[in-house]
Copies of this chain bind each other. A is one copy, B any other.
Amino acid sequence: MHKKTTILLAEDEPALGLIIKESLETRHFHVLLSENGERAFQVYQEHQPELLVLDVMMPRKDGFTLAKEIRAIDDTIPIIFLTAKSQTQDVVEGFTIGGNDYLKKPFSMEELIVRINNLLKRKEIQNTTEIISLGQFTFNFPKQLLQFNSEEPMQLTHREAHLLFHLIKNKNQVLDRSLILNKLWGNDDFFSARSMDVFISKLRKKLHQDESIQILNVRGFGYKLIC
By a beta-carbon cutoff of 8 Å, the part of chain A in contact with chain B is: 64, 68, 91, 94-98, 122, 125-126, 128-130, 132, 141-144, 157-158, 165, 168-169, 172-173, 214, 216-219, 226
| Contact A172/B95 with A158-B218, A214-B143 known, Cβ cut-off 8 Å | no
Pairwise interchain contact B169-A97, C-beta atoms closer than 8 A = yes
18 A–B contacts, CB within 8 A, in A order: A64-B129, A68-B128, A68-B129, A91-B125, A94-B129, A94-B130, A95-B129, A96-B169, A97-B129, A97-B168, A122-B173, A126-B172, A142-B172, A143-B214, A143-B216, A144-B216, A158-B216, A158-B219
Pairwise interchain contact B94-A126, C-beta atoms closer than 8 A = yes
Q: A100 → chain B, closest Cβ, in Å?
A: 9
- For A142, give its contact among B141, B165, B168, B226 (CB under 8 Å): B226
Q: A191 → chain B, closest Cβ, in Å?
A: 16
Contact partners of A125 in chain B: CB under 8 A? 64, 91, 94
Tell me the complex Cα distance, A173–B143, Å.
11
Which residue among A94, A157, A173 has the maximum number of chain B CB atoms within 10 Å of its CB?
A: A94
Q: A115 → chain B, closest Cβ, in Å?
A: 15
Pairwise interchain contact A122-B68, C-beta atoms closer than 8 A = no
Q: A226 → chain B, closest Cβ, in Å?
A: 5
Pairwise interchain contact B132-A97, C-beta atoms closer than 8 A = yes
Q: A157 → chain B, closest Cβ, in Å?
A: 8
Contact partners of A144 in chain B: CB under 8 A? 216
In the complex formed, the residue of B with least CB distance to A174 is: B158
Contact partners of A226 in chain B: CB under 8 A? 142-143
Contact partners of A216 in chain B: CB under 8 A? 143-144, 158
Closest 5 CB pairs of A and B: A97-B169, A158-B218, A94-B130, A94-B129, A143-B226
Tell me the complex Cα distance, A27–B100, Å.
36
Given A97-B132, A143-B216, 6 more A-B residue pairs with CB atoms under 8 Å apart are A91-B122, A94-B130, A94-B141, A96-B169, A122-B173, A144-B216
Q: A202 → chain B, closest Cβ, in Å?
A: 15
Tell me the complex Cα distance, A97–B142, Å.
14
In the complex formed, the residue of B with least CB distance to A214 is: B143
